Structure 1
Amino acid sequence: MHTPATPLHTTLRNTADIELWPAGLLRARGNAHARLLARAQTVLRRKRDGRYLAAVCAGELHALVPALARAPGLADAMRAVRQPLAHRRNGLEHVGTLPLHRLHDRLGALGLDADAYAARTGLGLVPEPDWLAFAGTDCWQRPLWLHIDAARAWLHLRAAALADDIVLEAISGYRSHDYQLGIFERKQARGLDVDAILAVNAAPGFSEHHAGLALDIGTPGEPPAEDTFEHTPAFAWLRDHAGGYGFTMSYPRDNPHGIVYEPWHWRFSAA
């Protein structure tokens, strides 16, 4: 892995099927990948399974998989490689959104109807942003990607907590629609039915994590994403101070969405 990039000065370009990762934030998978990633500026990473498809070195594309030309979404990803990220307008950060790409197919694979699910839960469809900001790493030392506004707020929130001797750590930030579908598929493979999974995870396309505005927060020594987090000094600090940084807890007890109590899940809103 290369030297870590500076938070907020590094971005993830997002397309419907493929993410454009800064090569320095990826771990090599084998010696051949290591040599190529050491020279690369960008790596095309398939969202569905995280597979590295190609590396961009000095403007040249180097395939990391057979039949790269047939990879779904390659043309869109290459357009993103060639076009500079126009993420500032009138001096302000601008984040666009992607189309709700093949979402009905994803939900259909789970036997869900988008309109019926939305009506039952009160949750709305959440498009993915076209780029995200690097906000440091999570508790597993993985790159943490967030909407630029949420990234800034998270770094300020974490620093303020630390000044009060409270250590906050990120558990999870941005998740793509494909990643959310993978959560369901893995849990189904373990024998859980869709209704049981929906009590804990929003359906693909409906998670606040898709927008890069939601953050699961924990603290060292505490199991991640467990309701026991409620009894920690870190949660008490968040309850008292997070609102001042734009974060609110999305799923309190008896929330109207049918999702279990999640004291670790906080959403940023600039309003």
Structure 2
Amino acid sequence: MQPLDWHLINTQGLEAVPARLLRARANAHARTLAQAQWLVRRKRDGRFLGAIAQGRLRPLSPALWREPGLGELLDALGAAPERAGLAPSLPLEGLRERLHQLGLDASYGDTTGLALVAEPARLEFAGRDRYRRPLWLLAPAARAWRRMQAAAVTEGVVLQAISGYRSHDYQLGIFERKLARGLTLADILAVNAAPGYSEHHGGCTMDISTPGEPAAEESFETTPAFAWLCRRAGDFGFVMSYPRGNPHGIVYEPWHWRWHAGPRDAGAAVNPASA
């Protein structure tokens, strides 16, 4: 296995997470976990299924060997770093069927002006978010975020990441949970992009806050951090996606910022305009 251990390796149904950043909680497997370089996680429910230690795959669940896509993930882990960049995005197969089950079809994209966003096959560790979770972004977006965060500190402003990359499965879970609570599809779409259409899927988008401010609230616009972003975020390639009156019909989100390729990063991003 190549030591791509500051990256998340992503496939359709599974992902490999560097064990040094995120440990599965399973006391029965403590020794295996202590030696692991990678943890294999199912995206649909976040369950850890296996650990890779000393080049060997060790099961944490009997379901591991029956898991669809396991071979694909192992192939991706075995690819050399330069080869890993040859297939930068995952295919969108299967997503449209799942959208149809939610009651959504292509007319959603036509109405909102939003495009389907493919997931990257590889994401870079960009630090940790407010909740101490690993933050994953495309490599150039991660570099831009670290530069912007450091620049803000020199001016007395602290920027906190709330979230970055989210998988299609994660977004589908949001919809399924809200539907189970009795919300209508229209209610959910007023505040959440449909699965596959969220900018967060592309690894170029972040929700940003500052200490003492609740996450993802409109009150963020009254903070010095928001004022700083309005002045300086463009210097680092970040733009606010959903201002008031945006053409997509999404509520005003002063916390939601998307990175797009600047002159220093031209050619390094994977279709950032649609991410």
How high is the TM-score relative to the length of structure 1? 0.92
Counterpart secondary structure, 1:43: strand
Tell me which of 55, 65, 89 is aligned to 1:97. 89
Q: Which amino acid aligns with 1:197?
A: I
Question: What percent identity do the matched residue pairs reach?
Answer: 60
Q: Find the aligned partners of 1:53 and 1:229 in 2 and give their Cα distance.
A: 38
1:246 to 234, 237, 242: 237
What CA distance in whole angstroms lies between the structure 1 residues aligned with 2:237 and 2:51? 37
**Post-superposition CA distance 1:222-243 (Å, at most 9, x none):** 0000000000010000001001
CA distance in 1, matches of 2:210, 2:101: 35
Matching residue of 1:155: 146
Q: For 1:58 and 1:116, locate their aligned partners in 2 and report how far apart those are by CA, in whole Å.
A: 49
What SS does structure 2 have at the residue aligned with 1:123? coil
1:107: which partner in 2? 99
Q: 1:72 aligns with which of 68, 73, 94?
A: 68
> What is the deviation of 1:95?
7.0
Match for residue 206 of structure 2 among 215, 218, 223: 215
1:177-188 alignment, distance < 5 Å: 177-188=168-179
CA contact (8 A) 2:5 2:37 kept: no
Shift of 1:94: 6.9
* Cα distance in 1, alignment partners of residues 87 and 206 from structure 2: 18
Q: Distance in 2 between matches of 1:200 and 1:182?
A: 15
Letter in 1 for 2:120: P
**Structure 1 residue ranges, 4+ long, deviating more than 3 angstroms after superposition:** none
2:234 partner amino acid: G
Q: Compared with structure 1, are the counterparts of its residues 28 and 68 closer, same or farther at alpha carbon in structure 2 (3 Å cutoff)? A: closer
- Relative to structure 1, the CA distance from residue 67 to residue 27 in structure 2 (aligned partners, 3 Å threshold; closer, same or farther) is closer
Amino acid at match of 2:229: L
CA displacement at 1:32 relative to structure 2: 2.2
**Gaps in structure 1 of 5+ consecutive residues:** 1-7
Q: In 2, are the aligned partners of 1:9 and 1:134 still within 8 Å (CA)?
A: no
Counterpart amino acid of residue 107 in structure 1: L
- Aligned partner of 1:26 in structure 2 is 22
How large is the RMSD of aligned CA atoms in angstroms?
1.6
Shift in alpha-carbon separation, 1:210–1:195, aligned structure 2, 3 A: same
Asked if structure 1 preserves the Cα contact closer than 8 Å seen for 2:49 and 2:63, the reply is no
Conserved 8 A contact 1:252-1:262:
yes
**Which shifted more, 234-243 or 31-40?**
31-40
